[in-house]
Structure 1
Amino acid sequence: MERFTDEALVLSTVDYGESDRLVTLLTREHGKLTAFAAGARKSKRRFAGALEPYMRLRVQLVETRGSTVRLDSADIVAGYYGARADLSLIARALYAVELCRELTRDHEPHPELFELLESYLQKLEAKEAGPTSLLAFELSALAHAGLMPRFDSCSLCGGALGAHPRFDQAHGGAVCESCALRARDAVAVPSELLSGLRALQEGERTPLPPELRARARGLLNVFIAHHIGRRLKSVDFMAQVGLD
């Protein structure tokens, strides 16, 4: 069995048996891995405080016969403790790690996504990530996963969107009024919303006004749920906290 070391961000954990824990990691070099941490819930020395969502770790892993690897040790590199003292920051961090978990397949390296998530967590910790930055993070994560929604032209015909654009998650983004007749789930959206989302895709970081931000949040929630097959649990937590 091969032993290896990697950098990792904790995406989620599940208690297993009486004392063990299954930990989903996004590693820099090996992608998403499910690691078995034997005795993690009883040992206060081996994994003390390390196996919590969005911790940044240096891990020692061992390949096993199945798809799960064995976690032998985990050293905390960054705890992002500044992002754990406020419910709004916790909600955004949990949403970010859940999104990355659902957008990736096991054992497929995604170094760009690792760096994107690490950077966003650093901004949350430094209190430098406003509400619009979460939309920018989502759009970048979707792009790395090959699921970038289209906002600049019609997703079906490639033509101009016209004065009355619509958005259809099943067809990959915005559609023109004519093509909307073929997109049963298409909903009307204001042109300025599509322009704002396109600007975020292109790297601009101008904050969206609250009304447009809330509508953008709704569009991306529907788009992501359609493509991964379910609504992310952290969406409801953000709503409970009062975040759009």
Structure 2
Amino acid sequence: MRSYTDEGIVIKRHNFGEADKIITLYTKSLGKITLMARGVRKLISKRAGSLDLFNQIKFHAVSGRGEMDTLTEVCLLTNYSAWKKHLGRVNIAYQLCELVDKLTADRQSHPEIYSILSLFLSQISSLGADWELKIENCKLKILTELGYWHEDKKHMGNLDDLIESLSERPLHAHKILIRLR
């Protein structure tokens, strides 16, 4: 059995069975990975709080016989509790995590994407009136790093439409923010 340790940001999660969750992380060295977190939905689970969306964690995982690796240890690095109480700021974070999830392939390492995502999540609490411009710039940085955009090219039109056409799947987070206004 192969095991590994890395840092990652929780970009997606959903329930599986009665006590488990499937967690999608964007990691520093492996890129996007999906792990089975066994028993984290139980009331006595010590790992459950560390696996909230947008948390930055250090983790240990084991490769199993199945398709999905199993999460064995979790250490919370940052939980961004300062802005998680504000629905608008949570939606901003969700937009970026959704973008990273839809446009990156599993186990394709892009350390710069991890750095961009980590830096932006740490700056969400200090976003001012120009927050929409900062989100667009962050999305363009991610698209540029993934090779979908050239940094010298000017952006015209709706960036979310471009992202939807690239991923061939609809985005949901930006629509929620529009309803909140």
> What TM-score, normalized to structure 1?
0.69
Q: Which amino acid aligns with 2:122?
A: Q
Equivalent-residue separation in structure 2 for 1:65 and 1:30 (angstroms): 19
Equivalent-residue separation in structure 2 for 1:78 and 1:115 (angstroms): 14
**CA drift at 1:65:** 3.2
* 1:123-138 alignment, distance < 5 Å: 123-127=123-127, 130-138=131-139
In the alignment, structure 2 segments of 5+ residues that lack a partner are none
Partner residue in 2 for 1:141: 142
Per-residue Cα deviation, 1:2-50 (whole angstroms, up to 9, x for no partner): 1111001001101000111000011101111110011110053431311
* 1:21-170 alignment, distance < 5 Å: 21-127=21-127, 130-148=131-149, 152=153
SS of residue matched to 2:51: coil
Tell me which structure has the larger Cα radius of gyration: 1
Partner residue in 2 for 1:206: none
Equivalent-residue separation in structure 1 for 2:109 and 2:32 (angstroms): 7
**CA drift at 1:100:** 0.6
Equivalent-residue separation in structure 2 for 1:61 and 1:220 (angstroms): 35
Equivalent-residue separation in structure 2 for 1:63 and 1:136 (angstroms): 37
Find the partner of 1:235 among 169, 174, 177.
Answer: 174
Equivalent-residue separation in structure 2 for 1:151 and 1:15 (angstroms): 42
Q: Which amino acid aligns with 1:126?
A: S
In the alignment, structure 1 segments of 5+ residues that lack a partner are 153-193, 198-215
Flag the 1:149–1:240 CA change in 2: closer, same or farther, 3 A: farther
Flag the 1:140–1:63 CA change in 2: closer, same or farther, 3 A: same
Per-residue Cα deviation, 1:102-160 (whole angstroms, up to 9, x for no partner): 111111111100000000001103346722100000001111111116874xxxxxxxx
SS of residue matched to 1:49: helix
Flag the 1:107–1:130 CA change in 2: closer, same or farther, 3 A: same
Equivalent-residue separation in structure 1 for 2:138 and 2:151 (angstroms): 16
Q: Which amino acid aligns with 1:89?
A: R
Flag the 1:7–1:43 CA change in 2: closer, same or farther, 3 A: farther
Q: Which aligned runs of 4 or more in structure 1 are off by greater than 4 angstroms?
A: 149-152
Would you say the 8 A contact 2:144–2:151 is kept in 1? no
Would you say the 8 A contact 1:6–1:27 is kept in 2? yes
**CA drift at 1:240:** 1.5
Q: Which amino acid aligns with 1:36?
A: M
SS of residue matched to 1:15: strand
SS of residue matched to 1:83: coil
**CA drift at 1:238:** 1.6
Would you say the 8 A contact 1:83–1:93 is kept in 2? no
Aligned residues: 180
